[in-house]
Amino acid sequence: MKTILIADDHPITLNGIKQYVENIGYQVICTCQNGNEAFENIKNLNPDYVILDLNMPGMNGLEVLEKVRVDDQTTKIVLYTMYHEKSFLTKATKLGVNGYLLKDFALEELSSCLEKVSVNENWFSPKLDEALIINKHDSEVEKILTLTASEKKILSLIAKDHSTKMIAEMLFVSEKTVEKHRSNIVKKLGLPNERNILQRFALQNNIPE
């Protein structure tokens, strides 16, 4: 029986994919909720297939793919993502991905994907032709992926017009900690030091919570 490792930081999605692949005859030997854990277990367990969410804490899916491919060209690696930007597909292809899915259609297409990659064929979702776009937001989305889970959570709360004080109370941290996160987010995103710049950015881009 072919073995699979699955990595996704959302437990519901992770369990859904696990149950699905087990129902179609694969053995799930490991599930992970961050990229660092996924990379270590890929090295130690040597699964036949790896299914990675692109957007995870620690290392994102592309970073895991890149590190695995330094020493391992044979493990079949499938990425799935909520982002429709072409830059991610281009980068994943260059790094040696075997399959690429959009998260909205992952379960309905995963069986076909695994069948194709099992015979050494790459598989890319047919939905990509409909959904992929090249636009000015590619660079912004790539920057969002550099944020930590805490920073993304704060950015999502800023988008909902929560003040620093409200965010501090909701996350059980000090206002000074929130301000520090805000400063780090501005630097990572390369934003100008303008009033309400984070709220404007968050509203203009899809910020995962």
Show me where the domains of the chain are located: 3-131, 147-204
What span, in angstroms and rounded, lies between the C-alpha atoms of 137 and 205? 8
Indicate whether 148 pLDDT > 80: yes
CA distances from 178 to 26, 67, 88, 148, 195 (A): 44, 32, 30, 13, 16
Q: What does the pLDDT read at residue 134?
A: 43
Indicate whether 120 pLDDT > 60: yes
Find, among 48, 54, 53, the residue nearest to 114 by Cα.
Answer: 48
Please state which architecture CATH assigns to domain 3-131: 3-Layer(aba) Sandwich (3.40)
Q: Which pairing describes strands 123-124 and 3-7: parallel, antiparallel, or unpaired?
A: unpaired
pTM recorded for the entire structure: 0.67
Report residue 68's pLDDT band, with 50, 70 and 90 as the boundaries. very high
Residue pair 182/174 in contact by the 8 Å Cβ criterion: no
Q: What does the pLDDT read at residue 136?
A: 44
| Average pLDDT of the residues in 74-103 | 87
Report residue 190's pLDDT band, with 50, 70 and 90 as the boundaries. confident
How open is the CA angle 138-131-17, to the nearest 5 degrees? 95
Query: Average pLDDT, whole number, for the chain?
Result: 86
Indicate whether 149 pLDDT > 50: yes
Task: Judge if 3-131 and 147-204 fold alike in CATH terms.
Answer: no
Report residue 125's pLDDT band, with 50, 70 and 90 as the boundaries. confident
Supply the DSSP symbol for 194.
-
CATH class for domain 147-204?
Answer: mainly alpha
Find, among 100, 62, 99, 103, the residue nearest to 82 by Cα.
Answer: 103
Q: What does the pLDDT read at residue 209?
A: 54
